[in-house]
Amino acid sequence: MADTKALYQEVILDHNRKPRNYGRLDHPSHKAEGHNPLCGDHLALALDLQGERIAGIAFEGESCAICKASASMMTATVKGKTREDAETLIREFREMATGELDCGSYPHHLGRLTVFAGVRDLPTRVKCAILPWHTLRAAIHSQASTSTESEADPMHAPIGDA
Amino acid sequence: MTASPSPRRLAPAPALDVERIRADFPILRLKVGGKPLVYLDNAASSQMPQQVIDRLLRYQTSQHANIHRAVHMLSEIATAEYEEARRKIARFVNAREDREVIFTSGTTEAINLVMHGYGRKFLGAGDEIILTTLEHHSNIVPWQMLCEEKGARIRVVPINDAGELLIDEYEKLFNERTKFVGVMQVSNALGTVNPVKSMIAFAHARGVPVLIDGAQAAPHMNIDVQDLDCDFYALSGHKLCGPTGIGILYGKAALLERMQPFKGGGDMILSVSFEKTVYNTVPQKFEAGTPPIAAAIGLGAAIDYLSEIGMGAIAAHENALLDYATAQLERMPGVCIIGTAADKAAVLSFALQGVHPHDAGTLLNQEGVAVRTGHHCAQPVMQRFRIPATSRASFAFYNSMAEVDALVAGIRTVQKVFA
């Protein structure tokens, strides 16, 4: 049984209520839109990549609390980091959410993002947590849009319908 | 539960003994995260009573063989039981003849059968098909596929803010190109009961045949296809306390005879040679290959079970549940009921202010309450109300008033988390 009480922790509820970096950038260098057609989650992500560094990042959209909090905490975490750091975090977050990475036993860089570890027990909610990261990866690689249902997408989570 | 023999057999009581009925459903004893399961996702799939489980076991342990084939004992028993199930369903929907009941994998396949068997044969370029905003994707997509192939066109009946069809608009859609009508009897997303009988009469006055998607209606009310005078009626077994993988298409015999087969294969032929194949008669013409025999027999047992309780008593109890739940939710601040039609079946869709339905569903599950969250395979309905999704509680006759209270308490918990 999933410990959903642990998933809806105050930090997640707080980021849902007051999302950080919510809005638009004046002059984004990279953009992507993320969409989960199964539940209607939708977010637009804008990046200001200066060289290898993420100087600015912002998102907006309509989504559930898990998705919005994940996006908010993601933007707060990757702001100021390099593209390579972001790629590492994207990979680690996905592995944590799908249960491939045991955060307790293996070294990682996720920090407070481990509050999302509980989604691994809620297969229908994994995509909600991953969507912002999915979208960040698309933005870094300058794809115009991405979807949790895109078969070819390397971030496609191996789970059933939401 | 009492140990006395079933009084239902002797004299059907006007009210249901819910506790007695619940004892028939082993799954209702489950606990979810330590809390009793409160199963309110019956519009998606209903649960199975022990009587149906036992029937499946008996078939599989002592009656199974392929049907309509061999002369040995088991094949003859299996064939007789399969055809007996067809008879039970024909009586359940009040078909004129048993052969008007075709076994399908469910409502979706039944609608696809009509699209392939009737639509592809009789509809052409410029012809129009009338559907409604309320339709489930399974009564939209097959017709879009047909339109793409034939150059036909779909016209859509709009709804009002309560989720009721605008019948004036429906009538205005008819013209000389109108060749088919498809409409659901009960909306899976909102619970609206549509006035299908008068809609059918209106279409028939213009010579247009009508398909009724009865997936959500059949579990909740008496179905009489002769009284409705529908040309086709589709339903699913797993929403009627039966197994998954089985459903039926009722069709008027005269129409079924004129239709082309949907799938080719064994059982649907009288003779085959490479020069010429002669198709079997109705209903075998539409039942190619080995059907889900056990599932069909299980559905027959489920219909026995429902009939013994009585669809009238079932409808009365479910309406009482819906009225009670509606009254409770209407009083709660921050709760908005989506779908407020005057005539509704046991479906209660709602939105919680400031809470996405998926968060509500996850937190309700934590309280043991199983509801559906999402677009309910009815995205046009969601678009009409400009929402991505709803939470939906849907009731069955085995649900209790105490379970409605559990739903209400669960919603309060969700609201507290997001306060």
Average pLDDT value for residue range B174-194: 98
Helix axes A123-140, A65-78, angle to 10 degrees: 40
A82 found inside a domain: yes
Q: Are strands B390-394 and B347-352 parallel, antiparallel or unpaired?
A: antiparallel
Give the pLDDT confidence score for residue B156 in this predicted structure: 98
E strands along B237-334, which residues?
A: 247-251, 269-272, 277-279
Domain that holds residue B372: 12-41+310-417
B303 with B317, same domain: the answer is no
pLDDT at B47 over 90: yes
CA distance B357 to chain A (A): 7
Residue A149: its pLDDT value, please?
A: 60
Which of B263, B285, B308 lies at the terminal end of a domain, its last residue? Answer: B308
Could you say which of B244, B278, B308 is where a domain stops? Answer: B308
Average pLDDT, chain B: 94
The answer to whether the bond into B283 is cis (omega within 30° of 0) is yes
Asked if residue A81 is part of any domain, the answer here is yes
**Facing residue for A8 by CB, picked from B34, B363, B373:** B363
Residue B3 lies in a domain: no
Specify whether B147 is catalytic.
no
Look at B18 and B387; give whichever has higher pLDDT. Answer: B18
Smallest Cα distance from A136 to chain B, Å:
22
Alpha-carbon gap, residue B88 to B390, rounded angstroms? 36
Distance (Å) from the alpha carbon of B133 to chain A's nearest alpha carbon:
19
Contact across the interface for A39 and B355, Cβ inside 8 Å: no
B388 interaction partners in chain A (CB closer than 8 Å): 39-41, 62
Q: Which of B31, B35, B362 to mutate to test the interface with A (most CBs of A within 10 A)?
A: B362
Picking from A88-102, A132-146, B126-140, B208-222, which range would have the lowest pLDDT averaged per residue?
Answer: A132-146
Q: How many domains does chain A have?
A: 1
Residue whose pair of structure tokens reads 């039944």 in the numeric block: B110
Asked whether residue B392 is domain-assigned, the answer is yes
Residue found by looking up tokens 């249960």 in the block: A99
CB-based contact, B33 to chain A, within 8 Å: yes
CB nearest to B417's CB, from A13, A39, A64 = A13
Q: Is residue B149 part of a domain?
A: yes
Q: Are residues B246 and B150 part of one domain?
A: yes
Task: Please check whether residue A32 lies inside any domain of the structure.
Answer: yes
Can you tell me the distance from the alpha carbon of B410 to that of B419, in angstroms, rounded to the nearest whole number?
A: 14
Assess whether B278 and B326 both reside in one domain: no
Number of residues assigned to chain A: 162
B2 falls within a domain: no
- Interval B346-359: pLDDT, tens: 999 999 999 999 99
Scanning B343-382 for CB atoms below 8 A from A yields 355-359, 362-363, 365-366, 373-375, 382
Q: Is residue A155 part of a domain?
A: no
Same domain, B211 and B236: yes
Contact between residue A135 and residue A43 where contact means Cβ atoms under 8 Å apart = yes
Do B384 and B291 belong to one domain?
no
Residue B47 domain-assigned (yes or no)? no
ipTM above 0.85, yes or no: no
Using alpha carbons, select from B79, B74, B68, B141 the residue that is nearest to residue B108.
B141
Pick from A113, A156, A143, A155: nearest CA to A47: A143
A78 part of a folded domain: yes
Supply the range of the domain harboring residue A143.
4-147
- B55's CB contacts (< 8 A; 6+ apart) are B297, B298, B300, B301
| Residue B48 one-letter amino acid | M
**Percentage with pLDDT > 90 across chain B:** 88
B374/chain A closest Cα distance in angstroms: 6
Average pLDDT of span B239-258: 98
Same-domain check for residues B253 and B178: yes
Quick check: helix, strand or coil at residue B133? coil
Q: Do residues B21 and B64 share a domain?
A: no
Mean pLDDT along residues B1-11: 41
Do B370 and B247 lie in one domain? The reply is: no
CA nearest to B164, candidates B196, B141, B137: B196
For chain A (162 residues), the mean pLDDT of every run of 10, in chain order, is 66 94 94 85 93 95 94 97 96 93 83 91 90 95 63 41 32
- Interface mutation vs chain B, best among A5, A7, A39, most B CBs within 10 Å: A39
Mean pLDDT of B250-273: 93
Judgement on whether residues B37 and B111 belong to the same structural domain of the protein: no
Burial B219-241 (b: 16+ CB within 10 A, else e): bbbebebeebebbbbbbbbbbbb
Window from A118-127, B88-97, B252-261, B290-299 with minimum mean pLDDT:
A118-127
Of A42, A64, A120, A122, which to mutate for an interface test with B (greatest number of B Cβ within 10 Å)? A64
Question: Per-residue pLDDT tens for B297-343?
Answer: 999 999 999 999 999 999 999 999 999 999 999 999 999 999 999 99
CATH classification of the domain holding A88: 3.90.1010.10
Instruction: At B14, list the tokens.
Output: 């006007």
What's the whole-number mean pLDDT along residues B149-170? 98
Is there a domain that residue A154 lies in? no
Tell me what pLDDT residue A144 has. Answer: 52
Contact A162 B359 (CB under 8 A): no
Looking at the fold, whether B91 and B206 belong to one and the same domain comes out as yes
B66 belongs to a structural domain: yes
Q: Is B4 part of any domain?
A: no
Last residue of a domain, one of B308, B335, B358: B308
Flag if B362 and A7 touch (Cβ within 8 Å). Answer: yes
CB atoms within 10 A of CB A123: 17
Task: Write the pLDDT tens digit of every residue in B357-393.
Answer: 999 999 999 999 999 998 888 889 988 998 888 999 9
B159 in the same domain as B116: yes
Assess whether B301 and B360 both reside in one domain.
no
What Rg value do the Cα atoms of chain B yield, rounded? Answer: 22
CA-to-CA dists, residue A60 to A21, A31, A44, A68, B243, angstroms: 9, 12, 5, 9, 44
Residue A156: the pLDDT is 44
CATH code, domain with B353:
3.90.1150.10
**Is A120 contained in some domain?**
yes
Q: In total, how many domains does chain B have? A: 2
Q: Which residues of A touch B389 (CB under 8 A)?
A: 39-40
The CATH number that applies at residue B268 is 3.40.640.10
